Amino acid sequence: MLLEVSLMNEELKQKALNYHAEPRPGKLGVAITKECNSQHDLGLAYTPGVAVPVGEIQREADLAYRYTNKGNLVAVISDGTAVLGLGNTGALASKPVMEGKGVLFKKFADVDVFDIEVDADTQEKFIETVTAIAPTFGGINLEDIAAPHCFEIERILNETLDIPVFHDDQHGTAIIVAAGLLNALEIQQKKIGDIQIVCLGAGAAGLASMDLLIALGAKRENMRLVDRKGVIFVGREGINKYKGRFAVETKDRTLADAMRDADVFIGVSGPNLVTGEMLKSMAPDPVVFALSNPIPEIMPSVAHSAREDLIMATGRSDFPNQVNNVLGFPFIFRGALDVWARTINREMHVAAVKGLTALAREPVPQEVLNAYRLEHLEFGPNYITPLPFDPRLREYVASAVARAAVDSGVARKPYPAHYPQEIKAMNL
């Protein structure tokens, strides 16, 4: 991200500043959802009428979902320690990003957001703050929190709170990666249980992606997790417990070693770390997800020159197959909120993957083609995940997540009648 900003010309930088400053500062506001045009309305909105729902919620806490905005309100919370590619900017400087996340929630899934930037110098203070404000919300989206603290923060909050806590940098990325990979493997005629996977990057996104792929059938012994010092192997010193779960018995020590005969490469690391020679050493019909932004681990032009038989994805919108978290988090929370879920569990992660996978295999409607100025698009090597402006995402992803919440016993209310009663994604 820092490099991306430096590459922007002065005109574009000024446009970005103007966008955030005018005609009123920021990107989010608060809207009144009920009539408040008379003394009578005011008496219902505030005193004395407001005392009635207060009493009802005091009697039964879940009635807050009926009488307040709790059931459609998510907190997007950061401590500013890992803001995009900018690093530790501090809490206040993370606010434009958190507001932006709120825009995406509202635009794509009609979920309301309060962005909250927490100035906490320890993980314990951050957890204490989030726990204290949690009753306001129907869900919490953790954002841009540095590893490894993000793992413990999410774990403790999930164990403590009775609302969904979802760290998008972990699970959001993992869900989109998994959906795209399942479709790429389908095209390449490979099965997830048989493939060799290399993951370059052992932070939040990499570890979560590997965990989810294991839940979907990948074999841990067929994975090679690679960090700045090389392959994570049994007996290597100085690795934390999170990386240690992926230590394997192997003679591979370098990225080049790990890439030999690999079926899949997933990069969540940095620019230009993979060479064409490495790709040439991979198995036939490889899948390459080079997700470093703005410069991938290997540029598509280099990758395709090295291997004509590959399927490739990046994190960029100007290349095919963008791995974009906006395909996930708005609709995952939409489904969770619509059944008053207590958590977002593994079953719901898998349901979101299946929803995205299924939607990409459906014919693309004209309105989506128009939005992207395309004449034609169909499931294949250059289209393995849906596009963000596909209006069917809510139907496919949110409904699958809601159904999984109900079926796994973490929902407070039944599966909504207005959702599709046949979940196509469940057949995958």
Residue 351 one-letter amino acid: A
Pairing type for strands 73-78 and 139-142 reads parallel
Give me the phi and psi of 150, to 5 degrees please: -60, -30
Q: Going by DSSP bridges, is the β-strand pair 264-267/139-142 parallel, antiparallel, or unpaired?
A: unpaired
At 187 the three-state DSSP class reads helix
Q: Tokens in use for 95? A: 């606010």
**Phi, psi of 411, rounded to the nearest 5 degrees:** -95, 145
107 carries an active-site annotation? no
How far apart, in Å, are the Cα atoms of 397 and each of 107, 212, 340, 344, 409? Answer: 16, 17, 16, 13, 18
CA dihedral of 90, 316, 356, 390, whole degrees rounded to 10: 100
Question: In what side-by-side order are the strands of the sheet with 165-167?
Answer: 112-117, 73-78, 139-142, 165-167
From the candidates 13, 19, 27, 46, which is the catalytic residue?
46
46 belongs to the catalytic site: yes
Contacts of 56 (CB under 8 A, 6+ apart): 63, 67
How far is 154 from 166, CA to CA, in rounded Å? 7
CA–CA distances in Å: residue 315 to residues 86, 277, 356: 16, 22, 17
Count CA within 13 A, CB hemisphere, residue 371: 11
Of the listed 101, 190, 243, 354, which one is catalytic? 101
Catalytic residues, which ones? 46, 101
